[in-house]
Amino acid sequence: MKASDCEGRVAIITGAARGMGAAIARLFAAHGFYLCLNDVDEVGIGSTKSQISSGGARVIRQAGSVASESSVKAMVQAAVREFGTVHILVNNAGVLKPTRVEKITEKEFDFVMNASAKGCFLCSREVIPHMKKQGWGRIVNISSSAGRSTSTLGGCHYTAAKAAMLGLTRAIAKEAGPFGITVNAVCPGLIDTEMVRHTISSGQIKRFEKSFPIPRLGKPEEVAKLALFLASDESAYITGASIDINGGDLMM
């Protein structure tokens, strides 16, 4: 797609401090989107913003938790105040915890579920009125192959959170479709991010790579390209879908 086809559209990207979120932000900026970047890590989104701004893109940052209703409202208000509306929401925020089920505390369970599932709900609910008003919108939920099977690295709460995102994707797509809004999920497998590198050793990574039909980890930039497609006019007849990007892992 041409960058000019996306120029001036406003996208909110959550979890944009690093990894897949930062890669999505960089690619969207290169295609002319106006961006509102969110993360609980204010320093991290400041770094992402600086990288993007140096290329001339229009971008603001809004630190805060997507699990907080007041924080989400402030984020969307900031985007609308700066750019006039919201066309695209990428629900990328999430946390990975490898804790085994018998060791998961209630606090940790809520933390993992809230970052993905509750955040996806709150952010979607807040942007939909703006999308309805203009008769066009795209919501892209970054779930995981864990949501379609079980997590390679994370605990049961991570699998449950990512599966919940897929349920939200289908239900919101059904409600929002008549208003020109599509809602889809991306389901990455093992992607080469800081979060993955901090969770398992390089030896474990090599063993996983050998087990995949495409014998390597995915790249954040590859996930970003899929998110860009789902945020564009070219995906206009796709909604309620969950699209795998996992090197063939789920075939095994």
* Token pair recorded at residue 94: 């999430």
Percent of the chain at pLDDT exceeding 70? 98
Give tens-digit pLDDT for 109-131: 999 999 999 999 999 999 999 99
Give residue limits of the domains in the chain.
3-190+220-238
pLDDT > 70? residue 49 = yes
Give the model's pLDDT for residue 2.
Answer: 56
pLDDT bracket for residue 5 (50, 70, 90): low
Which of 3.40.5.10, 3.30.450.20, 3.40.50.720, 3.40.50.300 would CATH assign to domain 3-190+220-238?
A: 3.40.50.720
Tokens 């901090």 correspond to: 198
End-to-end CA distance of the chain: 33
pLDDT at residue number 1 = 58
What pTM was computed for the model? 0.95
Tell whether the model's pLDDT for residue 38 goes beyond 80.
yes
What is the per-residue pLDDT across 68-89, written as a single tens digit (0 to 9) for each? 999 999 999 999 999 999 999 9
What mean pLDDT comes out for the span 146-152? 91
pLDDT at 156: 97
Res 6 pLDDT > 80: no
Most confident of 55-59, 79-83, 146-150, 195-199: 79-83
Q: Examine the pLDDT at 16 and tell me if it is beyond 60.
A: yes
Residue-wise pLDDT tens digits, 202-214 = 899 999 999 999 9
Active-site annotation, residues: 158
pLDDT tens for 213-222 read: 999 999 999 9
pLDDT tens for each residue of 225-240 = 999 999 999 999 999 9
What integer best gives the mean pLDDT of the chain? Answer: 95
pLDDT for position 47:
96
